[in-house]
Structure 1
Amino acid sequence: MRYVLTRIGMFVLTLWAAVTLNFVLPRLMPGSPLDAALARLAASGQQVTNAQRQAIEAQLGSPHGSLWSQYVQYLSDVVHLRFGTSFTDPTQSVASAIGKALPWTIVLVGVTTVVTFVLGTLLGAFAGWRRGRRADSLITTTSTLFGAFPPFWFGLLLLYVFAFRLQWFPISGGYSEGATPNLSWSFFSDAFVHSVLPGLTLAITTLSGWVFGMRNTMINTLGEDYVVFAEANGLRERTVALGYAARNALLPNVTAFGLSLGAVVGGAVLVEGVFGYPGVGQLLFKAVTNHDYPLMQALFLVITVSMLVTIFVVDLLYGRLDPRVRTQGGEAS
């Protein structure tokens, strides 16, 4: 019980610190939402008058008052889940903007994370079991090669080859221009085609982490006494590899997988930006560019809370799976 209470206290303290940073950081950025809106008008060649400036300021609802009063109001809004209206699009609420972008990111990044975790774990376990052999060299060399590519650069390469040159896939977007999101099979197939290249970019560039994580842990596990004892007893090679070595080497990768699921909500800003994918990453980029405080704060809050909740759950599960963690945390085993 002491272990659980300690983790709950740390969760609450960390959440408060994250919420406070979420309020402070956007306000440390140079400029303001009003400056960004005026800059866009000036870039279009329009002359900005004082009347237009006041009208834009009133429309944006730019924050007024002292920083402390804004902070108190912000905490109250967070508790009551009031995120306000987007400065970028005053006709749309922040909750509505996030609600439209979140499913795209969850599907793209979530499915990619699950697939790469399963594939990378299997490849890493096989490479670790065949350490020093040809299969190990092939898997580790290939993983190192693709893992060294920056995701945005690899995405641009895929776009040039498969979208621009071969024209097998669309260049940008989450669905065809003019289409309306719905639950029809035609829309799902259209969205799937648009998600292939960004999904491949994320999968190929992140696969190496799962491969090397599982391989290294697998090699360490193979030296344990119970694995050597199982081999000495004449058990089948597959039984020793899967039932003894891989099963015990899987725990660190499962922990990392839980944390990766928490990061799914944050999306992939660079990859979504390269492909013009209508997810949270693309929405966050637009919010930062336009100094959209309400949208930025809500996005950061959603991302932070999802990560903290995932870490909290993984921490509790890890304490159940490994009693030594509870002992170190102050609870007697």
Structure 2
Amino acid sequence: MRFLLRKLAFYAIALWAALTINFALPRLLPGNPVDILLAKLQQRGGAVSDDTRRAYALLLGGDDQTPLLQQYVDYLGNLLRGDLGVSVSYYPAQVTDVISTSLAWTIALVGIATVLAAILGVVLGALAGWRPGSWLDSLVPATTLLSAVPYFWLALLLVYLLSLQLGLLPGSGGYNVVLTPGWNWPFISSTIQYGFLPALTIVIASVGGWLLGMRNMMVSTLSEDYIMTARAKGLPERQILMRYAARNAVLPSVAGFAISLGFVVSGSVITEQVFSYPGIGSKLLAAVTNNDYALMQGVFLYITLAVLGANLVVDLLYGLIDPRTRKG
């Protein structure tokens, strides 16, 4: 219980710090964010008046006449009510609506690809580390090289080969636009078909890091005394691999997986841009391009909550896997 309370207190403080930084971002940027927002709004045909200016100022936490502390309190109050403001890039849509329409696409694409890359990399890394010098171990440099390749170059190469040359998969979009979105098989199969190529890009670019990290930890773990003791007792090699070596070697990968899983919400901006995929990464890029501070703050808030939540869950699971971490 003490371990749980300590972790909850730590993440509560981290959340408060992240929210405070998110509040300060528009005020640290050069220029007046409200004036930039109103200029963008006017370009899109929106009506600009003194009331409009004050309304946008309040969306960012308060106007020039409101004390900074009161702005901060109002900002936290808006968050508790789920009011993240109005997006200028997609005016007059609410920020929560813009994010919710794209979040499912990103979680489905980047989330599944991240899980597949982690599982594949950890399993292959454990086998490569268990038998150093084998043919599988000799493939580690090649997978590491793929991890060093820029995302956009790898994405463009796959589009050229699998889409333009072979015509096996569509090269852009999230689904066939002639279909009606919904829980029906034609639409679901279309999303799988359109999402396969960007997911393959993420898996190829990510699996090498997981494989190399797990392989090195396995090699280090195999030299530990408890591994030699287990072999001296005559335990089966498979039991030593699963219960002793891999179980301890995977602990750093679990922590890394938590961070990767948390950043799933942020999407893969470059991959989504190359494939014109309707995920949250494209929304974040549009927010930065259009100085849409409300949408930027909203996306950063979702990313913060996802990263902190994922790390909290894995910290608790880490305590179950390795009881030594609960001490202190």
CA 1:11 to 1:153, structure 2 compared with 1: closer, same or farther past 3 Å?
same
In 2, the alpha carbon distance for the partners of 1:288 and 1:57 equals 25
Is the CA contact (8 Å cut-off) linking 1:60 and 1:87 kept in structure 2? no
Q: Does 1:12 align with 2:21?
A: no
1:121-161 deviations in whole A, cap 9, x for unaligned?
110011101112332112x1221121111112211221222
Distance apart, 1:249 and its partner CA: 1.7
Amino acid at match of 2:48: Q
Distance apart, 1:228 and its partner CA: 1.6
Equivalent in the alignment of 1:242: 242
Is the CA contact (8 Å cut-off) linking 2:40 and 2:88 kept in structure 1? no
In 1, the alpha carbon distance for the partners of 2:170 and 2:38 equals 31
2:167 counterpart SS class:
coil
Is the CA contact (8 Å cut-off) linking 2:121 and 2:211 kept in structure 1? yes
1:63-87 deviations in whole A, cap 9, x for unaligned?
2613724433211101121122211
Equivalent in the alignment of 1:124: 125
In 1, the alpha carbon distance for the partners of 2:77 and 2:235 equals 62
1:265 counterpart SS class:
coil
Distance apart, 1:56 and its partner CA: 11
1:270 counterpart SS class:
helix
1:174-196 deviations in whole A, cap 9, x for unaligned?
11234331111111111111111
1:77-112 deviations in whole A, cap 9, x for unaligned?
011211222112223221111111011011101111
Is the CA contact (8 Å cut-off) linking 1:33 and 1:291 kept in structure 2? no
Distance apart, 1:9 and its partner CA: 2.1
In 2, the alpha carbon distance for the partners of 1:60 and 1:269 equals 33
Distance apart, 1:258 and its partner CA: 2.6
In 1, the alpha carbon distance for the partners of 2:75 and 2:36 equals 22
Equivalent in the alignment of 1:149: 149
In 2, the alpha carbon distance for the partners of 1:236 and 1:13 equals 47
2:48 counterpart SS class:
helix
Structure 2: 5+ residue stretches without partners: none
CA 1:93 to 1:171, structure 2 compared with 1: closer, same or farther past 3 Å?
same
Equivalent residues in 2 for 1:51-90 (5 A)?
54=48, 58=52, 61-63=55-57, 65-66=63-64, 68=68, 69-90=70-91
1:134 counterpart SS class:
coil
Amino acid at match of 2:138: S
CA 1:150 to 1:78, structure 2 compared with 1: closer, same or farther past 3 Å?
same
Root mean square deviation of aligned Cα: 2.7
Equivalent residues in 2 for 1:130-279 (5 A)?
130-138=131-139, 140-279=140-279
Structure 1: 5+ residue stretches without partners: 329-333
Distance apart, 1:36 and its partner CA: 6.8
In 1, the alpha carbon distance for the partners of 2:287 and 2:54 equals 13
Q: Does 1:311 align with 2:305?
A: no
Equivalent residues in 2 for 1:35-50 (5 A)?
35=36, 38=39
Equivalent in the alignment of 2:322: 322
In 1, the alpha carbon distance for the partners of 2:299 and 2:98 equals 10
In 1, the alpha carbon distance for the partners of 2:26 and 2:170 equals 34
Distance apart, 1:13 and its partner CA: 1.3
CA 1:166 to 1:26, structure 2 compared with 1: closer, same or farther past 3 Å?
farther
Is the CA contact (8 Å cut-off) linking 2:54 and 2:63 kept in structure 1? no
TM-score relative to the length of structure 1: 0.86
In 2, the alpha carbon distance for the partners of 1:201 and 1:181 equals 25
Number of residue equivalences: 320
Amino acid at match of 2:76: L
Is the CA contact (8 Å cut-off) linking 1:37 and 1:290 kept in structure 2? no
Amino acid at match of 2:52: A
Moved more, 180-189 or 62-71: 62-71
TM-score relative to the length of structure 2: 0.88
In 1, the alpha carbon distance for the partners of 2:73 and 2:4 equals 30
Moved more, 269-278 or 57-66: 57-66
